[in-house]
Structures are given as structure tokens and as C-alpha cells.
Amino acid sequence: MGILDVKDVGKRFGGLQALGNVNLSVAENSVHAIIGPNGAGKSTLLNCLVGKLVPDTGSVMFDGQSVLGRSPHEINQMGISRVFQTPEIFGDLTVMENMMIPVFAKRDGAFRMHAIENMMAERDIVETAEKMLVDMNMAEKRHMHAASMSRGDKRRLEIGMCLAQEPRLLLLDEPTAGMARADTNNTIDLLKQIKDERDITIAIIEHDMHVVFSLAERITVLAQGTPLVEDTPENIKGHPKVREAYLGEAA
Amino acid sequence: MLNLQKHDKTLMIIVAVLVLFAPFILNPFPTGSAMAQFNAGYPDLMQRFVIFGIFAVGFNILFGLTGYLSFGHAAFLGVGSYSAVWMFKLLSMNVIPAILLSVVISGLFALLIGFVSLRRSGIYFSILTLAFAQMSFNLAYSVLTPITNGETGLQLTLDDPRILGVSATADGGIPVTSLFGLEMRSTYEMIVGPWTFQFNAGYYLCGIILLAAFYLSLRIFRSPFGMMLRAVKSNQTRLNYTGLNPKPYTLAAFVISGMYAGLAGGLMASMDPLAGAERMQWTASGEVVLMTILGGAGTLIGPVLGAGFIKYFENIFSKINDSILHSWFSFLPDGIEDAVVFLIHPFIGKGWHLTLGILFMLVVIFLPGGLVEGGQRIKKWVSGGKNKADDKAPKTEPAE
Amino acid sequence: MDAIILQILNGLDKGSAYALIALGLTLIFGTLGVVNFAHGALFMIGAFCAVTLSKILNLSFETVDETKLDFLGNPAKIKTPYVESWFGPEVGATIIDWAVPLAILFSIPIMIAIGFIMERGLIKHFYKRPHADQILVTFGLAIVLQEIIKYFYGANPIPTGAPEVFKGSYDFGVLLGFDPNAIIYPYWRLVYFGFSALIIGGVFAFLQFTTFGMVVRAGMADRETVGLLGINIDKRFTIMFGIAAAVAGLAGVMYAPINSPNYHMGMDFLVLSFVVVVVGGMGSLPGAVLAGFLLGILESFASMNEVKSLIPGIDQIIIYLVAIIILLTRPRGLMGRKGVMED
């Protein structure tokens, strides 16, 4: 039993079987990568985990509770945070405000009406958010409009916002897609640091093998909507089936 | 942070001074002088300034913060007016219960309409609110006549069964609205030299309520709730995946702004106890949109400025006629004088709406931040290059 | 049965107007992605083209007829339209009588020109701005256009008649074997319906069978791809805007005899037409036409006394009610594609 257990999950769009009988278990406090060629169903699987899609069959259990039928914000409140392929942040708000919102969500839940209090007077929220900005090396950018930052900084901010909620599971959807080499390496370092310093499970969908092999402790290879193998990075590298289905393309 | 509070305090003081001293500020020209027609310091007009100010401030809480463009907010104003008039008919001529009821009823109405409309966003939301408002308007004209008195409008009559109070005054007239005996229409005139200043009880009641409404909106803008509303506008996906549910936040904003509209409607009826369906028509909803955008949507003071601006020029522009124009341009040679008057003629008097339409288009095209942005640009331009560094300075608060 | 047929017929002319305006709105939305709140104003301008032409044709000069005296005993002044003096009294009178149909020719170049100017001068700059901004600026434009018309033509409706031959009514009752006078239907409304059908058919044929139409349809499906093909789509879209304006204008021209044109008729129809577009499905041309007729007919059914006595006030709200139900249960409308403007 891992922290996240996916059992027999299937999803069909019209005539296309996007996912068929996916079984997957992510162990607590591990880094688990899901790789696979384009159209393997990685994004569909991810969307089934966070409540954007509801699978046709099977079950998804997080920490012993089913996530199926719950909306994204409810699943998030259970302890799953998601980082998007293109950073999703509050572009019109300042960096500090961006960071305060997840802290509020952590403390107050999905909705709380506090319309009269001054938000800056919430000392505990401000302090937590400031500390997280320092952790992310963004303290000096706190007054900037989030939309005006560089792509690398947006990614950093988004990861920071997810961490500010102290999630138990962090899902990353191709976090280095479209990034320059230097930015990719920075992101790898950041994720390594997060893994070392926090009690957190990380599941990562990634194209870039460099990223996968520098971070992952276990790897699941997905092809045509079903898991091909699941193993350690060392074994995956040499696995003939994987080479054939996936790495074969590159080799 | 202290700066921020100081900034808001300044804003609050500015609005308070404007409201409290409006009878002076709006009456700069001596009575009887040629410019006296530009005075706006008479009770009726000043009341309209502040009432529409309240309406626009409330609309801005929804549109300015969340970006949801409602084209049906006049329905809440109308419902507020009807509620208030019914309170005058049935309970008492005191304005307090009437205003309270109009806020409550319009709040409930907004809860209902908002709950349904907010299931969609973007243009679909606009159309849904428009559809609801037009439905209310059509019904008020037809089958709801027992409640709304149809085309005639709801008015006080001599046989209203007023529980606390009399149906008719001793001299056989209809009683007037009051605040614990202080009649809303009572006006104190102060004559200073050639000037006449009018201090009207109803205006000051509306003014104090505007100040309270403005203060509340200021607090909302600076609150965590206000931040969540701006987050709704900025990125709903991220909000969802941050464990927050956007629906109750937007619904709360919708209901609050509906209650503001109801308050405005209740005050309108308190100043002049009648209510008609035309207050609910979609053109009336369009008007509050114009005010908010013209002043500056999403800014605190913008809607108040926009409401004042539109109501002032509506009154003043529509009063200017050709003979006034001729007297202005009489210094020009005759032919040119006539040509100038001919060119200006379509934009004045009844042509005020044309001017408003053009002005509104210009604002949307060139000045999306409205009058407030215009003011900021002028300020920047005046202060010139000397504090160019300011551009890089931390921008503490996007919503001024 | 006869009552039902009568209501269907009654719904057709309003439905035609809804369908034509909604068709133009959808063309603009589908090709340019712009929500045009000024489209109702184009309909109104069309109606005023008919008014204008009828006024021009009626321009007269005065002659003094010594043989007749007016009631003051002065020689009577007789007004003769120029048209009658040029073409002779009979032909001239016929031309004046046919002012509204003639206004079709008169209005097409005007409407297309207005459409071009609107697109090039204003709408073009709003492609990349949010839909809320597009709504606001076109709303402002609608106010400006209607105030200009009000300035020149006044606030009162201007009666504009159909040609004499179409002034009567046709007795469908006899044709269909019911009692005479059971189903009476004015000729002009038949003309209006036929005319609308013709225009709708024309627009669809144009999009279906011409190369231009093919490119536009491809552009409606996926604007970026067509842009990549190197086809000058923007120019074609400008032309499309002109066509949409012409469709709205023609709908207005022919509507003039049904309801005397006034300056706010555009706004009145606009609100309903938007509801029609939403019901039909944002961006779907057949949806717009279908929904236009459907809502027109529903509206006339709701105004039957039998229905009204069952549900009082239903005739006032039926269209909005249908729109709300459709929007909540099937947000993409009757025939819309998924995901259009659902953000």
C-alpha cells in the first residue's frame, strides 16, 4: 500500500481507449516518475488523479480515501498539489499575494468569508508566506506582478505555492518542458532540495530522461494507455521492452 | 504596510470631504450669474450623485474584482425600490425599515439569480444576467401589476394602510418620508453674499450611507476575501488547484453587489417614494456599467467619480441649448460663430447620450483604467522624468 | 388546429428577423471571434435606409394651381414628387410605392461600407482584447449609432408602408380547408419570410460552394491553421464583416413595413438576438437560424390566450426562460461546438 494507489483505471474518449487497466502504486516519501511516448495517456492519468477527469472504471485511493467524484479543490484539500506544464499562477497579483493564497487555503479550507479584516494584518499568514518566499529565493521579488516575471521564476513560484500548502503528494506535469538547459538544471536542483528537506511524496510526469534519471527512485513506463513496466531507474535503463517501446525511438 | 493604510485613509478623507461639502463644491457660481446653470448643488441632483455612487461602488465589487460582467444589475435596484415603497405603504414613513427591507429583499433576489447565473462564466454569464433582468422587467410590467402597479409605477396613495403612522396628514395630503421625524425633503438654505447653498436632509442621509458603503468596499478590497476575488479574475484553474472553491466567493461578491444595488434603489424611493419598472430595464443596467468603466473598474474611487461624472454632465449638457452656445461664441465673427454652434449642436441638449457614447468608446479604446488611469497618467506626466525610478519601485497594491 | 397553424405563421416573421440578425452575429463571432453588441444597430440602420429612400423619392416641388382654391381662398399649392415629373405620374407613383423593396438595392452598398469602416476602424483593434472589452466598445458604438439616427430622424417611429399590392392579407383558412377568416396572414409577412429564406439560403450556398466560403469556413473552424497556410484571412474576414452587416441591414429594410422604424429598435432586437445565438450555440450558423425560428414561433404560441390563461405572463418571458434552461443544461446551445467561449 502506497500513499497513492491506482487500481484498474480505464478511460475512454469516444472510440479511443486512452487508459486501459492502469495499476500504479506510489510509495510514501518516494520520487516516482511516469514516462512514456506521446499519446501514452500520461496526462489523462494525471487528470484522473486530480479530479479534472473521472475514470470510467477502477479506483484511485489517496491515503486510504477514494478521490473519485471529488472536485479538484476537494482533492487538493486532501493533500495533493499539482504543478502544471505551463505555470499556472495569479498573473495579476503580486508575488507575495500569490504565496499568501495557498497559505490561506491551508488554514481556512475551501471557502471562508473574511471580508472585513485587512489581509496584511493576518500575521501568521504573512509570516508563513514570507518564509516560503525566502525558501524559494524570491523574497526580493515579493512586490512584483507575477505575470511580469521570467518563465523560470514563474515555475519556481508555482512550486513554492504548492509547497506552501504542505501537501503530502506533489504532482508535477513536465515541469521542465520548454525550458533552457540552465533552467532545467535549476529546477532539478530545486526538486532534489525539496525531496531532501521535506516529508513529501513526488510524482512526476516527464519527457526529459535527464530529469527523470536524476530524480526518480522508481519509474513507471506507460505505453498505449497501459503500464509496461515499473522498476528502479537502473533496471529501466536496460529493460528490453522499454527500449523497444520508448527509448528505442531515441536510440 | 503603514503606507498602505495611510493611502486608504487619504482616499477615505477625500471622499468624505467631497460628500460633506458637496453643497459648496458643486455650487461655485453665484446664483443668478451667467454660469449658475453649471451649479449642481441642488438637493435632487446631489442625491442622484451619491445614490448612483453607491450603485456603482457595489457593481465594482463584482465586476472590478472578479471580472464577471453583469448586464442585469438594475433588476436589484428596481426590486429595492419596490420593497421600500411597499414598506412606506404598509408600515411607516420612516426610511430606516424601508432601506433595510430593500437591502434584504434584493440580497435574496441576488442570491437566487447569482446562484443560477454563476454556473456559467464569460459572455454566457452576461447573457444569463441580462435574461433574468429582462424577465423581471417584463413581469413587472405585466402579470406582477398587483405588486408593481405596472406602467404607472408604484406610488403612495391616500388610503395606504400604514400600521405605524397615518394614511393621510391632517390637511389631507400624503405623508412624506422621514428619518424619525426629520423630513427627507427638508432643506436649509444658507445665503452667503450672492451665493445660495442648500443643505438637504435626504442628501446627507444618502451621503453618510455612501461613506459607509465606500468604507465597506475599501475594507473588502483590502481583505483576504477581496484578494480571493482578484484571484478568481486572474486564474480560476490555479484557484481550484489550490484547494479553494471559486463559486462561493463569486456568489458572495454577486450578492454583496446586489445588496448595494438594492440599497441604492431603497434610497431612491426614500427620497421620492415611487418605483417604476423602467428602473429595471437593461439600459439602466448598461448605465452602471458605463459609470464603473468610465471611472475606472477595479479601482476604489473610480466608480464614485464615474457616477458623479455621468450624472453631472447628463444634467448640465442637456441644459445647454443653442442660445447659450451663441452667447459663448459671440466673440467670433458671425459666420464662424454659426458654424461652431452648428458643429457642437448635436452633442448637447438631447444629444448628451451621443457625447456619452463617444466618450465611453474613447475610454474603452485608449484608457481602459478610466478616469483614474487618466489622472495617474497626468500625474506621471506632470511629475515628469525626475522620478523615473518610481516605475521600478515596489507596487504595493494593484487596486488603488 | 387552425389556431396552431396561425401561431406558427405568426412566429415566422419575427423568427425570420431573429434568424437573420443572429446569423450575422454568428458570422462575425465565428470568423472574427468578436462579440458585437452593435449588430442590432446595423439592423436599425437598415430599416432607416428604407425610411431614407422613401423620403428621397417623396422629395417634391410645389406648383400653384390657379384653377383650385384651398380653404382660405388662395390658389392651391400642389406638391409633385420629382420622380413623378421625371417618369410620368403613373410610373413615378409606382416607384414611390415600391420604395421599400427598392431600398434593398440602395442599402446593400451602404451597409457593406458601414461594415468595412466598422471592422477596419474599430473592431480590428479588439481582436486580441478580452471579450468584455469587445462587448463594452461595441455597446458604446451601438449607443453612438442610435443617437446619430435619433438626431437626424427624431425619436418617434416613422411609418413606412409596403407596396400597395402587398397590403392585403391572404386567407390560408380557405386554402387549407378551414373556415374562411380562420387563418388570415398579411401578404407582406409572407414576403418577409420568403425574403429571409432566400438570404439565409444565399449565405449558406455562398459559404458552401465558393472558394471564398471554404476558406472562411476553415477559418471559423481553426483560425490559426488557415493563417499558417498563407491565405490572407484577415482581408476575407473584413469582407465577411461587410456581408454580415449587409444581412442585418436587409433584415432591417424589409422589416420597416412590419414595425415602423424607431431609433431603439436595434437595441430591442439585439438583446433577443443574443439570446437566440446562445440558444442556437455560439458560432453555429445552422443553430442560429434554427433557434431564431424556434424562438419566434415559441413566442407567438406563448401569446395565445389559452396558454396565457394557463401560465400568466408566460408570453413576456418565454424566450428568456428557454435561454436560461438551455444555458444551464446544455451550455453549448442546440448545435454549438463544445468549448466555444466557455472560459
* Per-residue pLDDT reduced to its tens digit, A137-185: 899 999 999 999 988 889 999 999 999 999 999 999 988 887 888 888 8
Chain B environment of A109 (Cβ under 8 Å)? 243
Please, which residues have CB within 8 angstroms of residue B59's CB and are 6 or more apart in sequence?
Answer: B70, B73, B257, B260, B261, B288, B289, B291, B292, B303
- Closest listed residue to residue B118, CA positions, set B254, B240, B285: B254
Q: What is the pLDDT of residues A67-83, one digit of tens each?
A: 998 999 999 999 999 99
Looking at the domain assignment, is residue C12 inside a domain? yes
Comparing CB atoms, the residue among B122, B350, B364 nearest residue C343 is B122
Residue of C nearest to B145 (CA): C313
Residue of B nearest to C124 (CA): B365
Q: What is the pLDDT of residues B378-399, one digit of tens each?
A: 988 888 755 544 444 343 344 4
SS3 B338: helix
Q: What is the pLDDT of residues C282-305, one digit of tens each?
A: 778 899 999 999 999 998 888 888
Residue of B nearest to A71 (CA): B240
Q: Which segment, A34-43, A239-248, B221-230, is predicted with the most confidence on average? A: B221-230
Q: How far apart are CA B346 and CA C303, in angstroms?
A: 41
Please, which residues have CB within 8 angstroms of residue A231's CB and are 6 or more apart in sequence?
Answer: A218, A219, A239
Full residue range of the structural domain in which residue C285 is found: 2-57+107-329
Instruction: Count interface pairs B-C at CB distance under 8 A.
Output: 108
Q: How far is CA B338 from CA A72, B43, B320, B329, in A?
A: 68, 36, 16, 9
Chain B interface test: which of C29, C37, C316, C325 (most B C-beta within 10 Å)? C316
Burial class (CB in 10 A: 0-12, 13-18, 19+), B389: exposed
Q: How many angstroms from the chain centroid is the CA of residue B96?
A: 20
Categorize the per-residue pLDDT at B55 as very low, low, confident or very high, splitting at 50, 70 and 90: very high
Contact yes or no for A65/A78 (Cβ under 8 A): yes
Q: How far apart are CA C161 and CA C107, in angstroms?
A: 17
Q: CB-hemisphere CA count at 13 Å for C129?
A: 17
Q: What is the pLDDT of residues B111-157, one digit of tens each?
A: 999 999 998 888 888 888 988 898 899 889 888 888 888 888 898 88
CB contact under 8 A, B360 and C342: no
The residues in B 199-218 lying below 8 A from A, measured between CB atoms, are 216
Comparing CB atoms, the residue among C144, C275, C312 nearest residue B361 is C144
C-alpha cell at C182: 380562420
SS3 B389: helix
Chain C environment of B367 (Cβ under 8 Å)? none
Residues B61-72, mean pLDDT to the nearest whole number: 93
Phi-psi sector, B32: left (phi>0), alpha (psi -120 to 50), beta = left
Contact yes or no for B132/C320 (Cβ under 8 A): yes
pLDDT value of residue B3: 41
Residue of A nearest to B225 (CA): A115
Q: How far apart are CA B294 and CA B297, in angstroms?
A: 8
Q: What percent of chain B has pLDDT over 90?
A: 42
Higher pLDDT, C310 or A157: A157
Categorize the per-residue pLDDT at C46 as very low, low, confident or very high, splitting at 50, 70 and 90: very high
pLDDT value of residue C125: 86
Q: How far apart are CA B310 and CA B291, in angstroms?
A: 7
pLDDT value of residue C180: 72
pLDDT value of residue B350: 76
Shortest CA gap B15–chain A (Å): 19
Contact yes or no for B176/B183 (Cβ under 8 A): yes
Comparing CB atoms, the residue among A110, A117, A165 nearest residue B224 is A117
Looking at the domain assignment, is residue C336 inside a domain? no
pLDDT at position B4 over 90: no
ipTM of the complex: 0.91
How many other C-beta atoms lie within 10 A of the C-beta of residue B80? Answer: 35
A167 touches chain B (CB under 8 A): no
Categorize the per-residue pLDDT at B181 as very low, low, confident or very high, splitting at 50, 70 and 90: confident
Please, which residues have CB within 8 angstroms of residue A149's CB and are 6 or more apart in sequence?
Answer: A95, A141, A157
- Closest listed residue to residue A104, CA positions, set B4, B225, B235: B225
Phi-psi sector, C33: left (phi>0), alpha (psi -120 to 50), beta = left
Shortest CA gap B152–chain A (Å): 40
B222 touches chain A (CB under 8 A): yes
Structural domains counted in chain C = 1
Chain A environment of B61 (Cβ under 8 Å)? none
Mean pLDDT of chain A: 88
Q: How far apart are CA C260 and CA C237, in angstroms?
A: 33
Categorize the per-residue pLDDT at B205 as very low, low, confident or very high, splitting at 50, 70 and 90: very high
Chain C environment of B134 (Cβ under 8 Å)? 271, 320
**Touching subunits for chain B (3+ Cβ pairs under 8 A):** A, C
Chain B interface test: which of C324, C332, C340 (most B C-beta within 10 Å)? C324
pLDDT value of residue A251: 38
Q: What is the DSSP string of A113-170?
A: ---SS-GGG-HHHHHHHHHHHHHTT-GGGTTSBGGGS-HHHHHHHHHHHHHHT--SEE
pLDDT value of residue A236: 82
Query: For chain A, how far is it from start to end, CA to CA, in angstroms?
Result: 35
Shortest CA gap C137–chain B (Å): 5
Categorize the per-residue pLDDT at C223 as very low, low, confident or very high, splitting at 50, 70 and 90: low
SS3 A250: helix
Chain C environment of B135 (Cβ under 8 Å)? 316-317, 320-321
Chain B interface test: which of A52, A89, A90 (most B C-beta within 10 Å)? A90
CB contact under 8 A, A145 and B395: yes
Chain B environment of A88 (Cβ under 8 Å)? 235, 237-238, 241
Q: How far apart are CA A171 and CA B351, in angstroms?
A: 60
Shortest CA gap B238–chain C (Å): 14
- Closest listed residue to residue B79, CA positions, set B106, B104, B117, B54: B106
Residue with cell 473519485: A68
Residues B80-100, mean pLDDT to the nearest whole number: 93
The residues in C 78-107 lying below 8 A from B, measured between CB atoms, are none
pLDDT at position A99 over 90: yes
Range with the lowest mean pLDDT among A98-102, B252-256, C83-87, C225-229?
C225-229
Q: How far apart are CA B273 and CA B202, in angstroms?
A: 12
CB contact under 8 A, C316 and B138: yes
Q: How far apart are CA C123 and CA C234, in angstroms?
A: 12
Specify the pairing of strand A80-83 against strand A169-173: parallel
Categorize the per-residue pLDDT at C230 as very low, low, confident or very high, splitting at 50, 70 and 90: low
Burial class (CB in 10 A: 0-12, 13-18, 19+), C86: exposed
**Touching subunits for chain A (3+ Cβ pairs under 8 A):** B
C-alpha cell at B360: 465611453
Three-state SS across B140-169? HHCCCHHHHCCCCCEECCCCCCCCCCCCCC
A92 touches chain B (CB under 8 A): yes
Looking at the domain assignment, is residue C113 inside a domain? yes
pLDDT value of residue B302: 93
Q: What percent of chain B has pLDDT over 70?
A: 95
CB contact under 8 A, B238 and A110: no
Looking at the domain assignment, is residue C154 inside a domain? yes
CB contact under 8 A, B67 and C143: no
pTM over 0.90: no
Comparing CB atoms, the residue among B225, B243, B256 nearest residue A76 is B243
The reply to whether CATH 3.40.50.720 applies to domain A1-79+167-251 is no
CB contact under 8 A, B135 and C317: yes
Mean pLDDT of chain B: 87
Computed from CA positions of residues C181, C187, C188, C193, in that sequence, does the dihedral angle turn out positive or negative?
Answer: positive
Chain C environment of B358 (Cβ under 8 Å)? 140, 144
Chain A environment of B395 (Cβ under 8 Å)? 94, 143-145
Residue of B nearest to C275 (CA): B127
Residues B292-310, mean pLDDT to the nearest whole number: 91
Comparing CB atoms, the residue among A88, A100, A143 nearest residue B238 is A88
Edge-to-edge strand order for the sheet containing A201-205?
A: A80-83, A169-173, A201-205, A31-35, A218-223, A226-231
Q: How far apart are CA C176 and CA C28, in angstroms?
A: 41
The residues in C 42-71 lying below 8 A from B, measured between CB atoms, are none
Looking at the domain assignment, is residue C315 inside a domain? yes
Please, which residues have CB within 8 angstroms of residue C315's CB and are 6 or more apart in sequence?
Answer: C299, C302, C303, C307, C308
Give residue limits of the domains in chain A.
Answer: 1-79+167-251, 90-165
Instruction: Count interface pairs A-B at CB distance under 8 A.
Output: 123
The residues in C 266-305 lying below 8 A from B, measured between CB atoms, are 267, 271, 274-275, 278, 282
Contact yes or no for C288/C26 (Cβ under 8 A): yes
Q: What is the CATH number of the domain that holds C230?
A: 1.10.3470
Q: How far is CA B81 from CA A147, B89, B98, B148, B340, in A?
A: 43, 12, 9, 10, 43
Looking at the domain assignment, is residue C85 inside a domain? no
Residues C14-33, mean pLDDT to the nearest whole number: 86
Looking at the domain assignment, is residue C69 inside a domain? no
C73 touches chain B (CB under 8 A): no
B242 touches chain A (CB under 8 A): yes
